[in-house]
Amino acid sequence: MAYEVRVKRSAEKEFKNLPEQMKRRIGEALTALGDNPFPNNVKKLQNRDDYRIRVGDYRVLYSVNESEKKINVSAIGHRKDVYR
């Protein structure tokens, strides 16, 4: 069963400021997350309940609610800034 992907308002703002090519790649990655929230390149973050996927030099941080079948994207940003 597919998951519903929800993006926080702050992550949406970060997404809008990205270059067009990166928006397209991250959009494809978010669509793929809806089908499989734990792809091969996913990593669980230490000391947090979040996961991250890499898209080039950018990172997408998200959490998964298994019972409600929802993915909550908390941050999208460049690798040097996104973990702060």
Q: What is the pTM of this model?
A: 0.93
Sign, CA torsion 40/80/34/70: positive
Provide the residue ranges of all domains of the chain, joining segments of one domain with +. 4-78
Q: Compute the residue count for the chain.
A: 84
Encode pLDDT of 51-83 as tens digits. Answer: 999 999 999 999 999 999 999 999 999 999 998
Per-residue pLDDT, 1: 55
CATH topology for 4-78? Answer: YaeB-like fold (3.30.2310)
8 pLDDT band, cuts 50/70/90, is very high
Q: Which one, of 71, 53, 56, 52, lies nearest residue 19 by Cα?
A: 56
What span, in angstroms and rounded, lies between the C-alpha atoms of 32 and 48? Answer: 23
Per-residue pLDDT, 37: 96
Per-residue pLDDT, 83: 87
